Structure 1
Amino acid sequence: MPLLSRNAALALITFALLVTGCESHNRGKIVGQWKAADGAMFEFTADGRFIASGGATIQGRYSLGSGDTVYLNDLDPPLKGARRTRERISITGDTMNLAGGRSTPSKTFTRVK
């Protein structure tokens, strides 16, 4: 007698793939200070806060979504009238790429050590 039915095994495999596919690629990487060539800065803290400067200073809270998604919330001041935005941020080593979107242009940052 098999331990799991075929349907139960398929459901378990599907669940495992969904759970691992929904993880943030930025967990354990994003905290710290980041600087772009034009002097723009991002700082992400371990307690979920961020501050961004470069032309204007914006602060708020962030949370990590699945993959490269990072949610910026409680923006002060609001960005183009919005108090929250969703950004695509990918981090490889000491390089952070902020993908351009409706609220920000593409930009590359380097970790400040």
Structure 2
Amino acid sequence: MNKKIGVIIKELRNEKGISLRKLAKIVNVSNVNILYIEKGKINTSLPVLKGIANALNYNIDKLLSFANMIDDDIKTIINKRPVLITSFLRAAKNFTNNDWKALTEKILNNELNLKNDRELKNV
């Protein structure tokens, strides 16, 4: 685990006024475990990081990115089409936040007239 994620977790915990012991209890790990995560001394599992993010009301994907990790559902999506997805991300590397929001909104509203796999199988 890198120290950056530990610092972020500690800052968030302090901002929320949650003690180390309380966070540990919420996440169902020892307070020493939380302490070592915050100090960057140990690696931790995806479920523990999800629990921490949830307890601190922090976006899990953002927290995982600081740990150089991705959620299992994202891994599944990437593994399904690795070349296409990495090509898309590289093409979109200079998108602004507004570009990403606009594209996401268009996809969610099906304004791009995209077909999903189930629809393609029925054609």
TM-score (norm 1): 0.26
Between structures 1 and 2, the one with greater strand share: 1
TM-score (norm 2): 0.25
Between structures 1 and 2, the one with greater helix share: 2
